[in-house]
Chain A
Amino acid sequence: MAIEVRIPTILRTYTGGAKEVTSAVAAEGGSNLSALIDSLEADHPGIKDRLVEAKDSGIELRRFINVYVNDEDVRFIGSLDAELSDGDQVVILPAVAGGAA
């Protein structure tokens, strides 16, 4: 299945400047954000290391990276295990001090 991923300015050095990339992830057995990141890494080597880091015994999203699936922050829907379906929109953004502060 094909997932559209929006890439923030700061990571476009890995995508040849592309704002948005389409990533093909295998749909068999259910697909998740981890699989998507591996697929991104295959197409754009180096990007994975900017998105995730080793922590304790596994890997985690980096602190200043936010990922949204259909506008929902993945940290509340399973983080790297967040499930993906065909046609989902994935947005990657650096964390900023937002809001009407």
Chain B
Amino acid sequence: MVRYDSLLASVGNTPLVGLPRLSAPFNTGTGPQIRIWAKLEDRNPTGSIKDRPALKMVEQAEKEGTLRPGCTILEPTSGNTGIPIAMAAKLKGDRTVFVMPENTSEERRQLLRMWGAEIVSSPAAGGSNEAVRVAKKIAAEHPDWVMLYQYGNDANALAHEEGTGPEILADLPSITHFVAGLGTTGTLMGVSRFFRAAKPEVRIVAAEPRYGELVYGLRNLDEGFVPELYDAELIDGRFSVGPRDAVRRVRELLELEGIFAGISTGAILHAALGQAAKALKSGEDADIAFVVADGGWKYLSTGAYEGTVDEAEEKLEGQLWA
């Protein structure tokens, strides 16, 4: 069934595709069977996995009565969660104000403006931590505005517990590993809660982007930030992936499997391949599903897709590339 009442209703039910060429080196014939699968979240209404939490948070706020037509929605975002919020708000007649770190790609800003959003820039130094801090300050000044606050909103994780997780299990009952990016932690928390109940042996693995120094340039350590949604008990491993590996893998994904993905997906694939290598070493069969968070379109201007890997790495320094 691929007919929906409206664009908003068409969120989720994304394809899970096999990656035979990327899986091939892990299958020696005599060893275990190891397969890698990509969950194509770019096939959502605005082109990213963020459609799931964003639309769920909006729906929840409407249900609770905090969000009514004509309201102003405020949100700290690197852009990706902002895009579906802005799209939904446009259809519903709400105003949107997003706080974005100034070192995010121009494409995301243009898309947000197209959907009618207003953008407040936060300083590049401190990255998303600063965006959260600035948004909280603005929220305090405008008590009538609605901050959905993706880092601490249960509806974020719930969208994945009810959607992403069950969809993957239905398509891949033999799944052994789930790998996703770690930002708000919503994807990993929600999918993990689902699997901990439905198939507890599935290993939940986080890939965390490692940015340039600017992003970690906090004034003091107390400005550090751990999303309220995060529960370390729900993940089994957490890997830090730098821009070089992310770029290398995102190019491999295109080269070998034809998939044009965003840079954060390269980081996630890197962690997924690490799990495949571990499975091969221990001689265990594995079905590893990872998230393609979005397509590469919004990141073309970052320089990640052209030139040598060295050049791309240099261009990404200082940018919030994931």
Contact = CB atoms under 8 A, between A and B. Distances in A.
A10 B264 contact: no
Given A100-B262, A100-B293, A100-B322, A93 B210 contact: yes
Contact of B225 (A72, A75, A95): A95
A65 B220 CA distance: 11
B218 A94 contact: yes
B322 A93 contact: no
B181 interface: yes
Interface residues of B, number: 51
Contacts of B2: none
Interface string B179-212: 0011110000000000000000000001011110
Nearest to A73: B238
Contacts, number: 120
A66 B211 CA distance: 14
Interface residues of A, number: 25
B222 A64 contact: yes
B50 A97 contact: no
Nearest to B237: A76
A100 B132 CA distance: 14
Contacts of B227: 97
A101 to B, nearest CB: 4
Contacts of B293: 100
Given A68-B240, A91-B240, A97 B128 contact: yes
A91 B210 CA distance: 10
Contacts of B302: none
Contacts of B96: none
A70 B208 CA distance: 13
B238 A96 contact: no
A100 B50 contact: yes
Contacts of B262: 100
Given A8-B216, A72-B239, A100-B80, 20 more contacts: A9-B217, A10-B218, A10-B219, A62-B221, A64-B222, A64-B223, A64-B224, A71-B241, A73-B206, A93-B210, A96-B215, A96-B216, A97-B127, A97-B128, A97-B131, A98-B182, A99-B128, A99-B322, A100-B181, A100-B322
Counting from the closest, the 4 A-B pairs by CB-CB distance are: A99-B183, A64-B224, A73-B238, A97-B128
